[in-house]
Amino acid sequence: MTINNVRKSFYGKTKSEVKNKAKEYLNKIENGYKEPKKIVLNDYIEYWLKNYKLNKIEPTSYSRLYSVYIHQIKDTIGKNKIGDITTKDIQELIDNRANPISKDIKPLAMSGLKKILQLLRPCFNTAIQEEILYKNPCDNVILPKESCIQTETKKQFSLSDEEIERFKKAALSKYKTTHEYCSRDGFILLFMMNLGLRVGEVLALEWDDFDFNNKIVYINKTVQSNVMNFETGKSGTLIKKSTKTNAGIRILNLNDNVVEYLEELRKYNNRNNISSKYLCCTRVGTINSARNLQRSLDRILMKAQINKKVTLHTLRHTFGSVLLRKGVNIEVVSKLMGHANINITYNKYIHSIKEEEAKAMTMIKVC
């Protein structure tokens, strides 16, 4: 068989086996496959993403892999032939991203370094399965210690009880002249902190998800931001009809404060002619974005004089920490937060657990 002026031979015990091998090879060529000696890493990664990841993993996970490829691989080792790439090449890439020599390169935290290997390692494994490589150059790559990296991994923290009160006061503040609430999103943020919801879960909530008679809300979907549309090449928002994990699908009770926030939010919407099926919407009724919500959070934090880098996720983390501080069983906390298992909760809140253990030891007097 001659393909692109190159003669290719196939062997087998039967004609049927030879035909199947030829057909399989043609399919691979049509999907972007190239002969090993000619394959550039960039071409193989794009082939691998298209054939092994697209529509097989979550859109956000795919976008994350693609982003790592574009920003960390494409203009570095991606230009090399796949068979020429060594462990040393990848180690140098990791080390240069951990502690860049050039000021033009932004240093990565440990999570960013791990993402490079999370892209390259399985990609090279596929190349081995396809008999393009015989060994994985990622196998002996060593990640630097946290203490040897320029950018520290961000540590989660929660607001103190005193900060929570200041935040609540600022979120519910009103203009002196009109007596209207300064921030519509203040209700959303207080609601979020009271239920410990993920950002995507809050953005996806519709008024129909609430049962006010029984004071419950159904959490059963999420919004995924910065999802790439591979037809347009642009990032956008995707409403997914399920949560991050199966455990994320849950029914939560609404306390009296939350019910009051929601009632005030409805009244605010009516006064300002805001109509939408979404709880968290823009003034014209369209679904809101995490970026807009973060801007509102920043304004409220400034008013509350809380000088910390608080994110939307900090509100969720605060919910979990407050529950543990008040003695709620960690298994209950895990279920309320929609974690896939209790180990996730323990690892995320180990600092709160240790603080409570230390406090308990100071109170215990056995004899």
CA distance readout (Å), 298 to 203, 293, 303:
18, 9, 9
Q: What is the DSSP letter of 182?
A: S
Tell which CATH architecture fits domain 41-130.
Orthogonal Bundle (1.10)
Q: Residue 234 pLDDT more than 80?
A: no
The chain-wide mean pLDDT, for the chain, equals 88
Distant-in-sequence, close-in-space partners of 32: CB < 8 Å, separation ≥ 6: 43, 46, 47, 50, 51
Strand partners, 250: 219
Q: 161-217+253-363: same fold as 41-130?
A: no
Q: What is the pLDDT of residue 116?
A: 97
CB-CB contact of 199 with 312 (8 Å)? yes
Per-residue pLDDT at 146: 87
Tally the C-alpha atoms within 13 A of residue 87's C-alpha that lie toward its C-beta: 9
The answer, yes or no, to whether residue 73 has pLDDT greater than 70, is yes
Q: What is the pTM of this model?
A: 0.71
3-state SS, one letter per residue, for 97-110: HHCCCCCCCCCCCH
Q: Which residue has the higher pLDDT, 14 or 274?
A: 274
Give pLDDT, residue 153.
67
DSSP letter for 34, please: -
- Judge whether residue 231 has pLDDT over 60: no
User: In this prediction, what percent of the chain has a pLDDT beyond 90?
Assistant: 60
Residue 74 amino acid letter: K
- Report yes or no: 215 and 279 within 8 Å, Cβ to Cβ: no
- pLDDT at position 187 is 97
pLDDT in tens, 144-162: 998 888 877 677 889 999 9
Q: What is the CATH number of domain 161-217+253-363?
A: 1.10.443.10
* Rounded Cα–Cα distance for residues 192 and 187 (Å): 9
Per-residue pLDDT of 87-98, as tens digits, reads 999 999 999 999
Q: Return the bridge partners of 252, or none.
A: 217
Predicted pLDDT of residue 14: 87
Taking residues 225-253, report their average pLDDT: 67
94/88 Cα distance (integer angstroms): 10
For residue 314, the model assigns a pLDDT of 94
Residue-range domain boundaries for the chain: 2-31, 41-130, 161-217+253-363
- Closest CA relative to residue 218, chosen from 194, 198, 193, 248: 248
